[in-house]
């Protein structure tokens, strides 16, 4: 039987080409994912470990709960240097500075870290030299690349007085994957300059090198003895391992996501493999029956079929593993730099190879089990009496299958309903995914009925096009079970791509709507987080002027208090209190979070004087404690018309009714209160609580979150908040965009730490990110589509082989080669359109359910353009799938085919 099996494989090897390709692609994705992730992890480990092990002991301040750990003292470093186990030690001091980009604006929403370190450190210059004087500076490699600076350039940094100071860039330092510096960026000074540029005290890290004759463990223990409980001390290797594990967390998540796509690819490949073996075994019933007649047992026939699938699986998996190694190497080469890992050496682990081999082989053998079992149940004499057709696959759909299919669809619909009734939560997508899997089961069960029904409807106009189209329609419903089995693979891929496109489009539409509600403007201006917009000395008004309570020009029109209003009185209740310091103090009773850096009032005044701008809206806010762990944002908008300039979806009430003594509350903070009820807004800094009437309740997750109050009420409750948090700029409709931008930038040129963002650019950037994500996911899911097309091509090829005599008879009756090719092409296109059509319907349904189960106030959007492209691709896929089978059918000898049995 083994010789017979091998001979059959050699004789009919062309039948397995598309099956081998399907297995190979699935295995390639799986192995490639593992090789790519292993290479990245090894690269992270090498980079981090290489830097950490350049010193023998590393000490960092011990975590002190919620409080920021205190830095290590200069005296501690002196003691460590005096240890006999230590040959040398230096400290890493750290602060923050404002780094200006080439346009003179502060780089990033968060100021970069400013550091200094000595000779004994785990960091070194990647290019150039470390700074050695007061006019020199070095940057992290990533920071320099982002801002476009190179060694020798002049770099501008703001000093503590917000004055610009220029430095020469002498070197670039590689900080690797250290999470402390990978986000904000790093500026490197010498130690003396750092002290003058920042308020840095002590050290955030001390690195020590072992003296001759001592191990790194002995050095770490000695350093720990000096620092005690104030620090955590690790050897360089231990520190590197911990940092590598932390840095590799993103790689682990990436591995999981990519392996999910691998699972999808292998699932679709399994469907293709099953369909191929089902058709092949059905077509070989006469051959198998003859083997049974000459003495082969059922078990031998069964083992022969499994051996055949095992050989095919092993060969295809081996090819897939080789291709996967190449894909993994390409991913590490081109994708590694995007993930902060450049030049990582290829890492191929035995686990990656074994996983690919085992997965491909097991899926192939498992997919062949059912067809092989079916082959042993046919009586030899019965099989010999049939022609070489796929007997058993031509059966229709019985009532039992109809009932089971309808039950599957009912269960799927019930799960979708559960996901919607539960509201937005993390389990929603999981429930929707389960409902989709059950719906796929329903398609598998009812597939023949669906194929027959859809073809009968779509086939009506095709029957009138010509004889080839009419024959194609008849051929499509002749064996609906085979057609259904072939198209289910394409249905799965179409559902996934369409579903994700619906989720992506709905997410983009929903968030765009939210942006329009929250930022119905042209520009947004904010202070860089972690910095003061201007020096405190310039910010503080002259004593006794009353200026601290005065709103900006135009605020009185919106109900803001005039000079000498409650803000001034509230300040007088606290003699000796510095209002600016109080506003920045997160320890104020009832204040939940530190206040963000403010925008000086003169910026709003300057913007308001620009003819190119129609309106400048300012918001001020605080977070107040409500009790327990809950805090609430309280916001006011100066010069902003609530319900007109700033809107949100409401549960009840009218936003335009907001005024003094009234409040708009989002539903989550209303705690069951209704319009007309009294709502208490806590006051701060000695001010009384506000008892306000609710005029509107907004939906959760939209604009106007928390409590929105009138400027007059805000000034009374929070007298120390006298700077704007954000400015929203509305341009004059008739002014050119370039003139508007120049007007905005000229208004803030004296305040380089202010972040100026074009809302149009924000939306464009946001849309670009979603588009990149969509096309990335679509490319990965496209692999499942390619595998499905191979399956349809294989089905067509085997169908053509089975109908060789029929095709020859049609040719003998006058059907031309071109008409025969057209018939097979229409048949393949029909098959692809059915699979894609069902998948598109499922994708729209489950995409809507998945998006609505996660996004509050989701705006449903169907990307009709993308779906139209997918339908066109399905037609093209059908035509491609039919090319080789059609050529083979058209090239077959008429007399030879009619003469054969």
Secondary element (H or E) of residue 539: helix 536-539
Give phi and psi for 64, each to the nearest 5: -115, 50
* Backbone φ, ψ for residue 235 (5° rounding): -70, 165
606 with 747, same domain?
yes
* Nearest of 55, 58, 87 to residue 212 by alpha carbon: 87
Is 725 a domain residue? yes
State whether 615 and 684 are in the same domain. yes
CA distance 720 to 440: 61
Judge contact between 190 and 134, C-beta under 8 A.
yes
State how far the alpha carbon of 608 is from the alpha carbons of 520, 601, 615, in Å. 17, 11, 7
Which residue from 412, 432, 264, 431 is spatially nearest to 846, judged by alpha carbons?
432
Chain centroid to CA 84: 51
Instruction: State both tokens at 313.
Output: 């699986």
Q: Which helix (H) or strand (E) holds 787?
A: helix 759-802
What secondary structure does DSSP assign to 597-654, as a single string? PPB-HHHHHHHHT-TTEEEEEEEEEEEEEEETTEEEEEEEEET--BTTTB---EEEE-
Q: Is residue 300 part of a domain?
A: no
Query: Nearest-5° angle of CA 24, CA 26, CA 27?
Result: 65
| Paired tokens of 87 | 């040959």
List, in order, residues 6 or more apart from 570 with CB less than 8 Å away: 685, 686, 687, 716, 719, 720
Compute the distance between CA of residue 491 and CA of residue 270 in angstroms, rounded to an integer: 14
Contact 438, 418 (CB under 8 A): no
Name the nearest CA neighbour of 205 among 261, 304, 121, 272: 121
In the 8-state DSSP scheme, what is residue 594? P
Residues sharing a CB contact under 8 Å with residue 165, sequence separation 6 or more, in sequence order: 156, 157, 158, 159, 197
Q: Pinpoint the alpha helices (H) of 138-215.
A: 141-147, 179-182, 191-197
Whether the CB-CB separation of 689 and 681 falls below 8 Å is answered with yes
User: Taking CA 245 as the corner, what is the angle to CA 240 and CA 246, rounded to the nearest 5 degrees?
Assistant: 100
Where is the domain boundary, 709, 729, 752?
Answer: 752
Token output for 701 = 């997750």
Task: Flag whether 366 is in a domain.
Answer: no
| Lookup result for tokens 């019933």 | 285
Evaluated on CA atoms 829, 831, 837, 839, the torsion sign reads: negative
Q: What string of DSSP letters covers 841-891?
A: HHHHHHHHHHHHTTSTT------HHHHHHHHHHHHHHHHHHHHHHHHHHHH
Q: Quick one: 747 and 611 in the same domain?
A: yes
Residue the block writes with tokens 């730099």: 337
Q: Which residues, listed in sequence order, are joined to residue 754 by a DSSP beta bridge?
A: 527
What is the C-alpha to C-alpha distance for residues 615 and 608, in angstroms, rounded to an integer?
7
Q: Which of 214, 249, 284 is the last residue of a domain?
A: 214
**Token reading at 198:** 């920042």
Give the domain-ending residue among 214, 247, 277: 214
Q: How many angstroms separate the CA atoms of 241 and 52, rounded?
A: 9
Q: What is the DSSP string of 646-697?
A: B---EEEE-GGG--TTEEEEEHHHHTT--TTSEEEE---TTPPPEEEEEEEE
488 shares its domain with 548: no
Residues of the chain by 3-state class (helix, strand, coil), percent to 5: 55, 15, 30
Low-confidence ranges of the chain (pLDDT < 70): 1-15, 18, 43-51, 64-67, 176-180, 182-183, 244-254, 282-292, 294-296, 335-344, 375, 378-398, 517-520, 530-589, 591-597, 628, 765, 798, 801-802, 896-901
* CA–CA distance, 536 with 532 (Å, rounded to integer): 8
Same domain, 161 and 182: yes
Element housing 255 (H / E): helix 249-283
Q: Classify residue 112: in a domain, yes or no.
A: yes
Could you give the angle at the alpha carbon of 856 between the alpha carbons of 850 and 859, nearest 5°? Answer: 75
Q: Is 709 part of a structural domain of the chain?
A: yes
Q: How many whole angstroms separate alpha carbon 622 and alpha carbon 550? A: 19
CA distance 276 to 696: 63
Quote the pLDDT of residue 219.
92
What's 816's DSSP letter? -
Q: Do residue 710 and residue 585 come from a single domain?
A: yes
Q: Is residue 371 domain-resident? A: no
62/185 same-domain check: yes
Mode of pairing for the β-strands spanning 57-61 and 231-235:
antiparallel
For position 533, what pLDDT does the model report? 40
Q: Let me know whether 610 and 746 are in one domain.
A: yes
744 and 764 share a domain? no
Angle between helices 285-293 and 298-335 (to 10 degrees): 140
Judge contact between 205 and 234, C-beta under 8 A: no
Same structural domain, 654 and 715: yes
One domain for residues 679 and 765: no
Q: What pLDDT is stored for residue 389 in this prediction?
A: 45
Going by the DSSP 8-state scheme, the letter that residue 554 receives in this structure is T
Full domain range(s) for residue 705: 532-752
Report pLDDT digits (tens) over 635-690: 999 988 888 888 888 899 999 999 999 999 999 898 889 999 999 999 888 888 99
- Answer for the pair 402, 446: CB distance below 8 angstroms, yes or no: yes
- The end-to-end CA distance of the chain, in Å, is 25
Grouping H, G, I as helix, E, B as strand and the rest as coil, residue 269 is helix
CA dihedral 821, 825, 827, 829 (to 10 degrees): 180
Residues 729 and 820 reside in one and the same domain = no
Interatomic CA distance for residues 61 and 59, integer angstroms? 7
How many distinct structural domains can be found in the chain?
A: 3
Q: What angle do CA 366, 372, 378 make, to 5 degrees?
A: 155
The span from the CA of 747 to the CA of 38, in Å, is 51
pLDDT value for 544: 31
The dihedral sign for the CA sequence 532, 533, 537, 543: negative
Residue 17 lies in a domain: no
Residue 392 covered by a domain: no
In whole angstroms, give the CA distance from residue 439 to residue 409.
5
């Amino acid at each position: 039987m083994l010789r017979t099996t091998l001979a059959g494989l050699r004789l009919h090897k062309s039948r397995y080409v598309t099956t081998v390709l399907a297995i190979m692609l699935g295995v390639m994705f799986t192995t490639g994912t593992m090789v790519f992730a292993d290479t990245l992890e090894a690269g992270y480990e090498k980079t981090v470990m290489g830097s950490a092990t350049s010193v023998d002991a590393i000490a960092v301040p011990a975590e002190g709960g919620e409080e920021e750990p205190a830095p290590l003292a200069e005296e501690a470093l002196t003691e460590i240097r005096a240890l006999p186990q230590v040959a040398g030690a230096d400290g890493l001091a750290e602060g923050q500075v404002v780094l200006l980009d080439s346009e003179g604006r502060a780089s990033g929403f968060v100021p970069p870290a400013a550091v200094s370190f000595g000779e004994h450190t785990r960091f070194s210059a990647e290019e150039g030299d470390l700074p050695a004087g007061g006019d020199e500076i070095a940057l992290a490699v990533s920071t320099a690349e982002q801002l476009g600076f190179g060694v020798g350039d002049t770099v501008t940094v703001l000093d503590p007085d917000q004055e610009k100071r220029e430095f020469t860039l002498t070197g670039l330092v590689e900080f690797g994957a250290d999470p402390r510096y990978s986000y904000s960026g790093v500026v490197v000074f010498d130690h003396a300059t750092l002290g003058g540029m920042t308020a840095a005290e002590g050290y955030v890290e001390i690195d020590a090198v072992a003296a001759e004759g001592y191990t790194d463990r002995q050095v770490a223990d000695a350093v720990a003895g000096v620092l005690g409980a104030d620090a955590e001390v690790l050897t360089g290797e231990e520190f590197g391992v911990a940092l590598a594990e932390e840095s590799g967390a993103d790689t682990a998540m990436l591995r999981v996501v990519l392996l999910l796509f691998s699972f999808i690819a292998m699932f679709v490949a399994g469907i293709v493999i099953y369909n191929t073996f089902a058709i092949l075994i059905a077509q070989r019933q006469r051959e198998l029956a003859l083997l049974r007649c000459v003495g082969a047992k059922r078990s031998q026939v069964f083992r022969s079929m499994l051996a055949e699938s095992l050989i095919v699986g092993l060969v295809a998996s081996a090819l897939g593993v080789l291709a996967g190694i190449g894909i993994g190497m390409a991913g590490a080469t081109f994708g590694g730099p995007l993930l902060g890992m450049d030049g990582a050496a290829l890492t191929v682990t035995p686990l990656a190879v074994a996983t690919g081999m085992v997965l491909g082989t097991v899926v192939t053998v498992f997919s062949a089990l059912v067809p092989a079992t079916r082959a042993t149940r046919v009586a030899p004499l019965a099989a010999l009496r049939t022609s070489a057709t796929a007997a058993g696959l031509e059966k229709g759909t019985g009532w039992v299958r109809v009932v089971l299919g309808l039950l599957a669809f009912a269960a799927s619909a019930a799960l979708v309903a559960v996901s919607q009734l539960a509201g937005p939560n993390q389990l929603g997508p999981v429930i929707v995914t389960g409902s989709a899997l059950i719906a796929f089961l329903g398609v598998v069960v009812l597939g023949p009925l669906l194929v027959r029904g859809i073809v009968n409807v779509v086939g009506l106009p095709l029957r009138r096009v010509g004889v080839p189209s009419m024959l194609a329609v008849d051929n499509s419903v002749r064996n609906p079970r085979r057609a259904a089995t072939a198209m289910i693979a394409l249905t799965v891929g179409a559902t996934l791509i369409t579903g994700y496109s619906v989720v992506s489009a709905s997410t983009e539409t929903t968030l765009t709507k939210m942006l329009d509600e929250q930022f119905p403007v042209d520009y947004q201006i904010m202070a860089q987080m972690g910095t003061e917009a201007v020096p405190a000395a310039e910010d503080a008004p002259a004593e006794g002027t009353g200026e601290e309570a005065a709103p900006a020009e135009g605020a009185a029109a919106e109900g803001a208090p005039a000079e000498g209003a409650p803000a001034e009185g509230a300040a007088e209740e606290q003699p000796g209190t510095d209002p600016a310091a109080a506003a920045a103090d997160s320890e104020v009773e009832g204040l939940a979070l530190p206040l963000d850096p403010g925008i000086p009032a003169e910026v709003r005044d300057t913007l308001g004087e620009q003819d190119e701008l129609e309106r400048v809206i300012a918001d001020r806010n605080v977070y107040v404690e409500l009790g327990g762990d809950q805090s609430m944002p309280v916001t006011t908008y100066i010069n902003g018309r609530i319900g007109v300039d700033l809107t949100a979806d409401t549960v009840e009430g009218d936003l335009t009714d907001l005024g003094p003594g009234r409040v708009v509350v989002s539903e989550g903070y209303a705690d069951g209160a209704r319009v007309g009820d009294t709502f208490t807004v806590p006051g701060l800094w000695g001010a009384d609580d506000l008892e306000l009437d609710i005029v509107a309740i907004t939906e959760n997750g939209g604009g106007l979150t928390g409590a929105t109050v009138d400027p007059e009420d805000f000034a009374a409750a929070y007298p120390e908040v006298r700077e704007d948090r954000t400015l929203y700029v509305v341009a004059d409709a008739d002014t050119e965009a370039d003139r508007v931008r120049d007007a905005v930038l000229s208004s803030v040129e004296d305040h380089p730490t202010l972040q100026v963002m074009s809302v149009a650019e924000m939306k464009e950037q946001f849309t670009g990110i979603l588009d990149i994500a969509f096309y990335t996911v679509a490319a990965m899911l496209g692999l499942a589509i390619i595998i499905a097309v191979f399956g349809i091509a294989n089905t067509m090829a085997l169908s053509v082989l089975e109908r060789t005599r029929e095709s020859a008879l049609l040719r003998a009756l006058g059907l031309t080669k071109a008409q025969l090719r057209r018939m097979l092409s229409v048949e393949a296109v029909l098959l692809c359109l059915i699979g894609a059509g069902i998948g598109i319907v499922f994708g729209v349904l489950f995409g809507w359910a998945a998006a609505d189960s996660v996004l509050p106030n989701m705006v449903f959007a169907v990307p009709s353009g993308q779906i139209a492209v997918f339908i066109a691709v399905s037609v093209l896929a059908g035509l491609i799938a039919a090319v080789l089978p059609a050529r083979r059918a058209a090239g077959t000898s008429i007399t030879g085919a009619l003469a054969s049995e």
